[in-house]
Chains A and B, each alone.
Chain A
Amino acid sequence: MHSLAAKKTLALVFALAVVAMACTREEEGGGGGTQGETQAAQGDETTLLDEIKERGTLRCGVNNTVPGFGFDPGTGEIEGFDIDFCRAFATAILGDSEAIDLVPIDADNRFIALQNGDYDVLVRNTTWTTSRDGAEGVAFMHVNFYDGQALMVRKGDFSSIDEMDGTNICVTTGTTTELNLADYFGARDLDFEPIAFEENPQLQRAFISGRCDGWTSDRSQLAGIRSQWPEEEGGPESLVIFDEVISKEPLAPGVLDTEIELHDALDAVVNGLILAEELGVTSSNVEDTAEDPGEGPVAALLGAPVLDPETGESAPLDSGLGIANDFMIDVISAVGNYGEIFDRHVGSSSDLELERGINALWTDGGIQYAIPFR
Chain B
Amino acid sequence: MSETGPSSAPLTDGELKEAARPSPWRDVRVLRAAGQVLFVVILVVIAREMYLNATFAIGSAGRELSYTYLDSRAGFAIKEHIVGYSSNQPLYKAFLVGATNAMLVGAAGIVMATVLGVLIGVARLSPNWMVRKIALVYVEVFRNTPLLVQVIFWYVAVILAIPRIEDSVSVFGLAFVSNRGAALPAIRSGADFGTWSLFALAALLVAAIVWRWRTRVHERTGGPHYRWLSSLAVMAVLAAAGYVIVGDAFKVEVPELIAHGYSGGLQMSPEFAGILVALVFYTAAFIGEIVRGSILAVSKGQKEAAQALGLSPGQQLRLVVLPQAMRTAIPPINNQYLNLWKNTSLAFAVGFPDLINISTTMVNQAGHALETFSLVVGTYLGTSLLISFGMNIVNRAVALRGGTA
Contact = CB atoms under 8 A, between A and B. Distances in A.
Interface of A: 1-2, 5-6, 9, 12-14, 16-17, 20-21, 24-25, 28, 32, 35, 39, 107-109, 111-112, 115, 131-132, 134-137, 165-168, 170, 173-176, 178-179, 181-183, 185-186, 192-198, 202-203, 205-206, 209-211, 213, 256-258
B62 A258 contact: yes
Interface in B37-60: 37, 40-41, 44-45, 48, 52, 56, 60
- Grouping DSSP codes into helix (H, G, I), strand (E, B) and loop, the B interface class, with mixed when no group exceeds half, is helix
17 contacts: A6-B8, A20-B41, A137-B63, A166-B261, A173-B348, A173-B357, A178-B361, A185-B77, A193-B77, A195-B271, A196-B353, A198-B351, A206-B351, A209-B179, A210-B164, A213-B260, A258-B61
Given A25-B48, A173-B357, A179-B76, 4 more contacts: A13-B37, A166-B258, A173-B351, A175-B364
Contacts of B259: 165-167
Contact of B44 (A21, A186, A206): A21
Contacts of B75: 178-179, 182-183
Given A17-B40, A32-B56, A205-B160, A179 B365 contact: yes
B180 interface: yes
Contacts of A32: 52, 56
Given A17-B41, A168-B260, A195 B351 contact: yes
Nearest to B167: A210
Nearest to A107: B364
A49 to B, nearest CB: 18
Interface stretch (B118-126, B247-255, B278-286, B366-374): B366-374
Interface string B348-387: 1111010001001101111111000000000000000000
B61 A9 contact: no
Contact of A202 (B69, B179, B270, B349): B349
Contacts of A9: 33, 36
A234 to B, nearest CB: 15
Contact of B367 (A21, A111, A178, A205): A111
B366 A135 contact: yes
Contacts of B5: 6
A269 B60 CA distance: 27
A257 B61 contact: yes
Contacts of B307: none
B261 A131 contact: no
Interface-centre pick from B52, B77, B360 (highest chain A CB count, 10 A): B77
A137 B8 CA distance: 55
Nearest to B161: A209
B76 A178 contact: yes
B369 A211 contact: no
A192 B179 CA distance: 17
A5 B12 contact: yes
B165 interface: yes
B2 to A, nearest CB: 12
B311 interface: no
Contacts of B8: 2, 5-6
Contacts of A131: 365-367
B40 A13 contact: yes
B156 interface: yes
B78 interface: yes
B171 interface: no
Nearest to B76: A178
Nearest to A43: B60
